[in-house]
Amino acid sequence: MWEEKDIKKVLVTKEQIIARSEELGKQITEDYRKENKSPLIIALLRGSVPFMGELIRHIDLDCQFDFMDVTSYQGTESVGDIRIVKDLDTSVKDMDLLIVEDIIDTGKTLDTVVKLFKHRGAASVKIVTLLNKPSRRTVEVKGDYIGFEVENEFVVGFGLDFNQRYRCLPYVGVLKDECYQ
């Protein structure tokens, strides 16, 4: 892949992501079945799309999907407030929501989105995230299902971007220093 020339190191391989997505999908299926719930699965665009695709192959429930686009990022630094770029088409009232995210970093995005969904009357809200970067948290947000923990490093690939690039890489990695210029 042409993007690979810019990668300094691979943190999570494609095989690891595939295997972990299967585990998480099965766990989610079991948990929602136990409570007899049918989730509305909400992917936060755009980074969570590849992970969502992997995950839903292993979610065996009567579920629905929707997509929302919220933004807080320019380059590698959070700009604080969250803007809704695309809202859901589905009403979340009385629905059991499962939010799919690429990474929980400061926690601001999910904190805002979870509060918004509760305010709109969601029956329950859970989070599944491919990656978790706990060292960067400024707001308390816990993922209910977490793929992998990563150190305090900016990562790209498997949906995650740097200025909209590198999303198509089949693994998660760190860019060479000169690429962040």
78 binds, among Mg ion, ligand IMP, none (CB under 5 to 8 A by kind): ligand IMP
- 20 contact, one of ligand IMP, Mg ion, none, CB 5-8 Å limit per kind: none
CB of 118 to ligand IMP, least distance (A): 17
* Segment interacting with ligand IMP, rule: CB under 6 A, options 11-19, 56-64, 84-92, 95-103: 95-103
Q: Does 13 bind ligand IMP (CB under 6 A)?
A: no
Using CB under 6 A, which residues numbered 141 to 170 contact ligand IMP?
154-156, 160
**Considering CB distances under 5 to 8 angstroms, the limit depending on partner class, which of ligand IMP, Mg ion, none binds residue 106?**
ligand IMP
155 binds, among Mg ion, ligand IMP, none (CB under 5 to 8 A by kind): ligand IMP
User: DSSP of the chain, one letter per residue?
Assistant: -GGGGGEEEEEE-HHHHHHHHHHHHHHHHHHHHHTT--EEEEEEETTTHHHHHHHHTT--SS-EEEEEEEEEEETTEEEEEEEEEE--SS--TT-EEEEEEEEESSSHHHHHHHHHHHHTT-SEEEEEEEEE-GGG-SS----SEEEEE--SS-EEBTTB-BTTBSTT-SSEEEE-GGGG-
* Position among 22, 37, 73, 126 found at the interface with ligand IMP (CB under 6 A): 73
Binders in 98-137 for ligand IMP, by CB under 6 A: 101-109
Q: Considering beta carbons, is residue 47 or 143 the nearer one to Mg ion?
A: 47
How many of the chain's residues bind ligand IMP (CB under 6 A)? 17
Helix 49-56 × helix 14-34 angle, to 10°: 60
Under the rule (CB under 6 A), what is the footprint of ligand IMP?
47, 72-73, 78, 101-109, 154-156, 160
